[in-house]
Amino acid sequence: MKISIAQLNYHIGNFEYNKSLICNAIKQAKGENAELVIFSELCISGYPPLDLLDRYDFIEKCGITVNEIAKECIGISAIVGSPVINKNQEGKKLFNSALVLSEGRIVFAANKALLPTYDIFDEYQYFEPEKSFKVFSLNGKRLAITICEDLWDEQPFDNKFEKSRLYTISPMEELARQNPDIVINIAASPFSYTKTESRENIFRNKARKYGLPVISVNQTGANTELVFDGASVVVDPKGNVFRKLPFFEEAIVTFDTGNLVSGQVTTIEKPDPVELIHDGLVLGIRDYFRKSGLKSAILGLSGGIDSAVCLCLAAEALGHENVRSLLMPSRYSSEHSVTDAVDLAKRLHTRYDIVSIEKPFSAFEDDLSALFEGKARDVTEENIQARVRAVLLMAVSNKFGCILLNTSNKSEAAVGYGTLYGDMAGGLSVIGDVYKTDIYRLAEYINRHKEIIPENIIKKLPSAELRPDQLDSDSLPEYSILDNILYQYIELQKPPEKIIEDGADAETIKRVIRMINFNEYKRYQAPPILRISSKAFGAGRRMPLVARY
């Protein structure tokens, strides 16, 4: 059986666009004599549709679009993902369905049973879990059609407290009893740099366990925070990878299942995680702008490594002509801040402007002098400087219609080392899920062929430059120590005692954890953060602000 898999980049709610993507792929698959073309989970609506699923008009449009696409399925079948109304009297209003389209109509529906509802996933908000499972015969082949998590009934978790079997049923066990020939999995599985291998292993293990080929189809592209990496795989019944589609790119691949069973194994190089993070962030920026109908960006360039890396990523994502920066020196800025920033902007051929913050900063000091009489200078004045910069950046953003990119990193966000409405401002956080130590790795990767980011920027000691001779290390542990604690507490969710046992300094850990918990209120108002880890700040991590813990 000749099958095409279509790894595409959908746009949430843009039904015309998604339809044309899908119909073009059907045409191409037909041209390659495929009998079946497979698309990813909820490709009709785009993933994740979130609370648009609560709107009846949205669901109606999904139905209309599926029917229109079905009309194109003459002489070829297609599997598409769509929300479908649950017609039973009881339960949630929708199913998350894989629909088989053939001869102009919907001929079969498999509904998702295991609905991920953890971290950024919220599927049980909208969908009723399916409880019965049937293979579907197409041109003499018995297809076990599953949707994403349905095949992930056993999975490793970062948090040791979590169970590896999160569900009490296994759809694949039940499908296996019906003697399928091929397992199909349509997915919408977001990127995490620690998870690419384990995801592939899930498919390989299932193939081996059941002695069946597994065809997985993931989407690519970014939707606000979530970046989908594609990397769809076809696995032979022995668990070897037969085909692997690219990371972060659209691709349509056609193959014969006859060859699949006979096992022409592909050897794949293990991808470099820093390269994947880099490519994921570039795609994340590009799709945020493209899908919002936006073109150009602005950011504040401080002469430090964070904004330098962001400028490089943005220039690659949007084109150097669409990214501008503002250099905003103050009385506390070192000379190299400006010269290093100018050097970088020039190397990237991006526009830059220099605006001193001195005048508005002084005006605020004057305005407040009576009110603040007798009070010592403190973090207030540091925050005013950061906020003056945000006002300037937002003014240019408003006047020229360019979106402010936020350049805060995950280490800062974790401990609250940043100013709300100041350097925490922006429409999209580029590196808010990247720890400081990984920012250096990204800089190294960006410089892999030639020095784009000046060595000066990489070598200097991190500083916010909000008071004379200030260094990050005045207020924070060394980043290598800090990031290690953060990773164990945030990603691995280890109890503090366990982190201490594992060798970190008890006082430092307690202090860092206090800072994390105390600063939940700041992160509540942070911009959406491009997610590249298994636990990013934002929708996938919600803490009660008034808790005492």
Question: According to the binding rule CB under 8 A, does residue 549 interact with a copy of itself?
Answer: yes
In whole angstroms, how close is the CB of 242 to a copy of itself at the nearest point? 32
Which residue in 500, 304, 508 sits closest to 415, CA to CA? 508
Q: How far is CA 503 from the centre of its chain?
A: 31
In this structure, the number of other CB atoms found within 10 A of the CB of residue 28 comes to 15
Catalytic one among 2, 19, 112, 410? 112
Nearer to a copy of itself, 339 or 356 (CB): 356
Residue type, 200: E
Which residue in 329, 336, 289 sits closest to 528, CA to CA? 289
Question: According to the binding rule CB under 8 A, does residue 373 interact with a copy of itself?
Answer: no
Instruction: Please give the helix or strand (H or E) that residue 522 lies within, else none.
Output: helix 520-524
∠ at Cα 44 (39, 46), nearest 5°? Answer: 95
Identify which range of 283-291, 313-321, 456-464, 474-482 contacts a copy of itself by CB under 8 A.
Answer: 283-291
Binding to a copy of itself (CB under 8 A) within 506-525 occurs at 521, 524-525
In this structure, the number of other CB atoms found within 10 A of the CB of residue 336 comes to 14
- For residue 144, give the 3-state DSSP assignment: strand
Question: According to the binding rule CB under 8 A, does residue 375 interact with a copy of itself?
Answer: yes
Catalytic one among 35, 41, 149, 225? 41
Q: How far apart are CA 441 and CA 229, in angstroms?
A: 20
Question: According to the binding rule CB under 8 A, does residue 118 interact with a copy of itself?
Answer: yes
Question: Looking up tokens 């998870």, which residue turns up?
Answer: 195
Binding to a copy of itself (CB under 8 A) within 189-228 occurs at 223-224
Question: Looking up tokens 């430092």, which residue turns up?
Answer: 508
Question: Among 267, 335, 371, 503, which residue sits at the site for a copy of itself (rule: CB under 8 A)?
Answer: 371
Catalytic site includes residue 112:
yes
Question: Among 30, 238, 511, 541, which residue sits at the site for a copy of itself (rule: CB under 8 A)?
Answer: 541
Nearer to a copy of itself, 67 or 380 (CB): 380
Tell me, what DSSP letter sits at residue 286? H
In this structure, the number of other CB atoms found within 10 A of the CB of residue 474 comes to 10
Nearer to a copy of itself, 318 or 539 (CB): 539
In whole angstroms, how close is the CB of 321 to a copy of itself at the nearest point? 18
Catalytic site includes residue 275:
no
# binding residues, a copy of itself (CB under 8 A): 101
Question: Among 384, 482, 485, 509, which residue sits at the site for a copy of itself (rule: CB under 8 A)?
Answer: 384
Question: According to the binding rule CB under 8 A, does residue 91 interact with a copy of itself?
Answer: yes
Identify which range of 132-140, 192-200, 378-386, 453-461 contacts a copy of itself by CB under 8 A.
Answer: 378-386
Nearer to a copy of itself, 54 or 455 (CB): 54
Question: According to the binding rule CB under 8 A, does residue 238 interact with a copy of itself?
Answer: no
In the chain, what is the straight-line distance between the N-terminal and C-terminal CA atoms, in Å?
Answer: 58
Question: According to the binding rule CB under 8 A, does residue 14 interact with a copy of itself?
Answer: yes
In whole angstroms, how close is the CB of 46 to a copy of itself at the nearest point? 7
- Rg of the chain over Cα atoms, rounded to whole angstroms, equals 26
Instruction: Please give the helix or strand (H or E) that residue 469 lies within, else none.
Output: none
CB under 8 Å to 157, separation ≥6 — which residues? 163, 164
CB under 8 Å to 426, separation ≥6 — which residues? 299, 403, 404, 405, 406, 407, 527
Binding to a copy of itself (CB under 8 A) within 427-486 occurs at 427
Identify which range of 22-30, 133-141, 176-184, 534-542 contacts a copy of itself by CB under 8 A.
Answer: 534-542
Per DSSP bridges, beta strands 323-327 and 351-354 are: parallel
In whole angstroms, how close is the CB of 291 to a copy of itself at the nearest point? 4
- Is 466 within 8 Å of 385 (Cβ atoms)? yes
Question: Among 35, 46, 253, 300, which residue sits at the site for a copy of itself (rule: CB under 8 A)?
Answer: 46
Nearer to a copy of itself, 176 or 453 (CB): 176
Binding to a copy of itself (CB under 8 A) within 292-351 occurs at 292-293
Question: According to the binding rule CB under 8 A, does residue 159 interact with a copy of itself?
Answer: yes
Question: Among 140, 168, 461, 469, which residue sits at the site for a copy of itself (rule: CB under 8 A)?
Answer: 168
Question: Among 246, 271, 273, 496, which residue sits at the site for a copy of itself (rule: CB under 8 A)?
Answer: 496
- Per-residue three-class SS string for 417-450: CCCCCCCCCCCEECCCCCCHHHHHHHHHHHCCCC
Question: According to the binding rule CB under 8 A, does residue 52 interact with a copy of itself?
Answer: yes
**Which residues are identified as catalytic?**
41, 112, 148
